[in-house]
Amino acid sequence: MTNTPSNDIVTPRLILRVMSNEVIEACLAGNLRIAGRLLGASIPEDLLEHTSSFKYGQQQLNDDPDYLPWSARALILPEEKVMIGLIRFHTRPDPEYLHTYVRDAVELGYRIFKNYRRLNYATEAIKAMMTWAQTEFGINKFVASVSPENKPSLQLATRIGFTKIGEAIDDVDGMEYVLLFERDKKDLLN
């Protein structure tokens, strides 16, 4: 994984590119052609199936411009120049709502579009985001909230090393398991 001057996170198969406020506004307006031009990659219609995270992220950016590097990143296949999903941290590190479970952590969420699932893109993106947060900001505790019905995401989180530390009711998604992963310095090599 490398970081480029444009703040892209580059992995062996992906570019994780911050979605600017302009890109998000175009997505929310349903204009994926303009959003894709601004992003530098085509954006499939799958993106429009769940826009609540964009609204949340846009509010976060309006309230806290320093949230930008933690906000939504498009997962882009560089050769095809197509967005295949997205990943983001819900807030900057150590938000109050996580204090019940853990301190000095950050929660991440991700979504891979239907045609690109089960190809290990999520694993690659999650590990890259955790490495970025650890390298750039010294963050080594990561939380993921996953519905008990979402077996593929639970299996993915378990494979990466997340363990259940609690349960919560999400206003949008209902019951979720709260999962934690702690990295140490040697994990930067993986």
The domain total for the chain is 1
Give the pLDDT score at 91. 93
Say what the pTM is: 0.91
CATH number at residue 87: 3.40.630.30
List the structure tokens of 90: 């819900």
| Residues of the domain holding 93 | 2-189
- pLDDT average per 10 residues of sequence, the chain (190 residues): 65 95 91 95 90 81 89 96 96 95 96 94 97 95 96 95 94 89 67
Give the pLDDT score at 76. 98
Give the pLDDT score at 58. 84
Give the pLDDT score at 55. 82
Give the pLDDT score at 2. 43
Give the pLDDT score at 185. 57
